[in-house]
């Protein structure tokens, strides 16, 4: 398969039809590229702005084959794409990022082992396969700690906090006895994230680290610049580049970090455009979504520098109902077109920018 840049008019296949796919499709359209969404659910938000939509399950081999034949490259908006689907597609079209990134990021134990292999710090952790493993892990790591399923957890789902070793049985039941990892708490000063991109040529471009605030396990806001020193910014960017290169990655990746008194600790990596990078739409000429499209299409990457300070705030559940008041502000309002409002569901975001300080 050729690594030549895809010309305008080419079609990028996107697995997943949520808000990230929607914003990727908008970014592609700006560059004269078409998008084709593959999504099991009906009426996905990304379908409103894409050239085509395939509605089929990820185990439908015939639909996957037709989809691959209709696109020039395949990417994804979420990391829990079944490995079998990625393999089926890769037989017919380039899949970017590649299988290695999915393999590492879909399993928290593999992800932590991979990051540690690069001599990058992670929280203390142990793999947990049964109640006895959990008791041993709690004895070694202590409490408070967090029990997380190895797969499919996001936005606070698939995890439970353990404040006392006597809670082991109830914690195990709370995650439905799924294979898990136990993570020790990290005494951090702040939460950060880096949005990095790597092109087909190996070129790496990173955005400035943002400072994140979470509520109930869900990202509430990201501010750039964060209250961090120049050396911490540089360390975060170098760390991101190390991870991107080790995976031979193509596309945009979000890397969540804890800043501690002893240095930076990786919380998790996400092989896709990331919620904490939404501020780039208003504060950068080349935002994270266009950067990802450029990378997977084999185009040159853009400059990741920002022209403004920014604070991005997620609109969770009913917070999006205030759209009239938010629309009256001089701010970047993004509503995701989701049909149903639910507590804890990301319905949109708003970014407020100011002159760069």
Q: Is pLDDT above 60 for 224?
A: yes
Residue 216: pLDDT band with limits 50, 70, 90: confident
What average pLDDT does the segment 208-220 reach?
94
Sorting pLDDT into bands at 50, 70 and 90, what band is 157? low
Topology annotation, domain 190-355: D-amino Acid Aminotransferase; Chain A, domain 1 (3.30.470)
Pairing of strands 218-224, 332-335: unpaired
Q: Which residues, 6 or more positions from 133, have their beta carbon under 8 angstroms from its beta carbon?
A: 126, 127
Least Cα distance to 240 among 204, 286, 278 occurs for 204
Which listed CATH number (3.30.300.30, 3.30.1490.20, 3.40.50.1220, 3.40.50.300) goes with 124-184? 3.30.1490.20
Rounded percentage of the chain residues whose pLDDT exceeds 90: 85
For residue 17, what pLDDT is reported?
96
Provide, rounded to the nearest whole percent, the portion of the chain with pLDDT above 70: 98
Reported confidence tier of residue 83, pLDDT bands at 50, 70, 90: confident
Secondary structure E strands in 8-92: 11-15, 34-39, 52-55, 73-76
Tell me if 150 sits within 8 A of 181, measured CB to CB: yes
Window from 61-65, 213-217, 298-302 with minimum mean pLDDT: 213-217
CA distances from 122 to 60, 261, 293 (A): 37, 14, 30
For residues 1 and 219, the model is more confident at: 219
pLDDT in tens, 111-124: 999 999 999 999 99
Whether 158 has a pLDDT exceeding 60, the answer reads yes
Q: Is the torsion defined by CA of 203, 207, 208, 214 positive or negative?
A: negative
Domain map of the chain by residue range? 11-95, 124-184, 190-355
What CATH number should be reported for the domain whose range is 11-95?
3.40.50.20
Look at residue 180 in the predicted model and tell me its pLDDT.
93
pLDDT band (50, 70, 90) for residue 79 = confident
**What is the spatial distance between Cα 303 and Cα 67, in angstroms, rounded to a whole number?**
32
Mean pLDDT of 284-299: 98
DSSP letter assigned to residue 4: S
């Amino acid at each position: 398969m050729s690594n030549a840049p895809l010309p305008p008019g080419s079609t990028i296949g996107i697995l997943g039809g949520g808000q990230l796919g929607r914003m990727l499709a908008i970014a592609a359209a700006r560059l004269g590229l078409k998008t084709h969404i593959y999504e099991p659910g009906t009426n996905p938000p990304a379908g409103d702005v894409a050239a085509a939509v395939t509605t089929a399950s990820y185990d439908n081999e015939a639909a996957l084959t037709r989809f691959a034949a209709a696109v020039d490259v395949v990417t994804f908006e979420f990391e829990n794409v079944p490995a079998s689907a990625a393999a089926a597609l890769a037989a017919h079209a380039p899949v970017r990022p590649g299988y290695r990134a999915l393999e590492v990021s879909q399993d928290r134990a593999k992800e932590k082992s991979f990051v540690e292999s690069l001599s990058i710090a992670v929280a203390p952790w142990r793999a947990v396969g049964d109640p006895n493993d959990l008791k041993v892990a709690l004895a070694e790591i202590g409490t408070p700690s967090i029990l997380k399923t190895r797969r499919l957890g996001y936005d606070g789902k698939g995890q439970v906090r353990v404040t006392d070793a006597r809670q082991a049985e109830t914690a195990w039941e709370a995650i439905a006895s799924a294979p898990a990892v136990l993570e020790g708490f990290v005494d951090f000063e702040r939460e950060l994230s880096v949005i990095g991109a790597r092109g087909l040529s190996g070129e790496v471009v990173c955005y400035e680290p943002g400072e994140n605030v979470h509520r109930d396990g869900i990202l509430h806001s990201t501010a750039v610049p964060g209250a961090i020193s120049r050396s911490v910014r540089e360390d975060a960017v170098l760390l991101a580049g190390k991870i991107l290169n080790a995976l031979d990655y193509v596309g945009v990746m979000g890397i969540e970090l804890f800043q501690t008194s002893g240095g930076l600790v990786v919380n998790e990596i996400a092989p896709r455009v990331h919620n904490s990078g939404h501020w780039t739409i208003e504060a950068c000429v080349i935002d994270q979504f266009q950067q990802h499209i450029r990378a997977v299409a084999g185009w040159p990457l853009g400059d990741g520098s920002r022209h403004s300070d920014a604070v991005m705030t997620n609109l969770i559940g009913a917070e999006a109902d205030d759209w009239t008041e938010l629309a009256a502000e001089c701010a970047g309002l993004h509503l995701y077109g989701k049909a149903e409002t639910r507590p804890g569901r990301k319905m949109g975001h708003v970014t407020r920018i100011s002159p760069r300080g």
